[in-house]
Amino acid sequence: CKVLMKILYGARIARYDLLNATRALASCMTKWTKACDKKLHRLVSYINSTNHYTLKGYINDDPKDLYLRIYADADFAGCKSTARSTSGVFLCLCGPNSWMPLSAVAKRQGCVSHSTPEAELVAADLAIRAEGLPAQGFWEVLLGRPVRLVLEEDNQAAIVVLKKGYCSALKHMGRTHKVCLSWLSERIANKDVEVEYCKTDEQAADIFTKG
């Protein structure tokens, strides 16, 4: 516990690449095995060999040109024991010549998803509700003006559902994942959030869902 919590503290502050591995090990605390010992040793060895890695950001624009960009991604049934997916979220302050990381999340989803778009929508809900909108309110006060919030999504089917607000194949999500597709669609319709398609190789949240 002590080792993992120390790693988690550093991961949340400046080493976002450690979040998913630490999350996976933390979920095994009550059922620790020899395999977990090997995984922890591998994680510490990775940290030891990459202690020169740093989190970097730069701001080279006027405050009036800055906006928030949030990446949301999910793996499908990534957990071998539970078949649950993992949501990854990455929030940054951007501009034409700016890139400042603000926060990152790697969180296992509450129940099993039946498809990749379903897992992606759960991740998008987490990104908008828990990270994006609270940060948007904060930066609007800080900058004294409305701030754009752009959601980067790499699954085109999920984007269609986000804009439409309904899908007959996903009508169970309100009961299983407690995700309201109508609420997400309303945020987009009201222009609280803008949705853009992001190529998979440019998905900054991918590292929080996979090894």
198 dihedral zone (left: phi>0; alpha: psi -120 to 50; beta): beta
* Residue 211 in this model has a pLDDT that exceeds 80: no
pLDDT at 133: 97
- Mean of pLDDT values over 153-159: 95
Which is nearest to 207 in space by CA: 118, 125, 129, 101? 101
C-alpha 185, offset from chain centre: 19
How confident is the model over 120-132, as pLDDT tens digits?
999 999 999 999 9
Phi, psi of 149 (to 5 degrees): -125, 115
What does the DSSP assignment read for 151-205? EEE--HHHHHHHHH---GGGTTHHHHT---HHHHHHHHHTTSSEEEE--GGG-TT
Which residue in 95, 122, 121 sits closest to 108, CA to CA?
122
> What are the DSSP E strand ranges found in 33-192?
67-75, 86-95, 98-108, 149-153
Strand partners, 77: none
pLDDT (0 to 100) of residue 139: 97
pLDDT of residue 134 exceeding 90: yes
Average pLDDT, the chain: 94
Q: What is the mean pLDDT of residues 169-188?
A: 93
pLDDT given at position 71: 97
Question: Per-residue pLDDT averaged across 62-73, rounded?
Answer: 97
Dig out the tokens for 168 from the structure: 């007959």
pLDDT of residue 55 exceeding 80, the answer is yes
What is the distance between the alpha carbons of residues 159 and 27, in angstroms, rounded to a whole number? 31
pLDDT at 78: 84
Share of the chain above pLDDT 70, in %: 100
Mean pLDDT of 84-103: 96
Is residue 79 predicted with pLDDT exceeding 90?
Answer: no
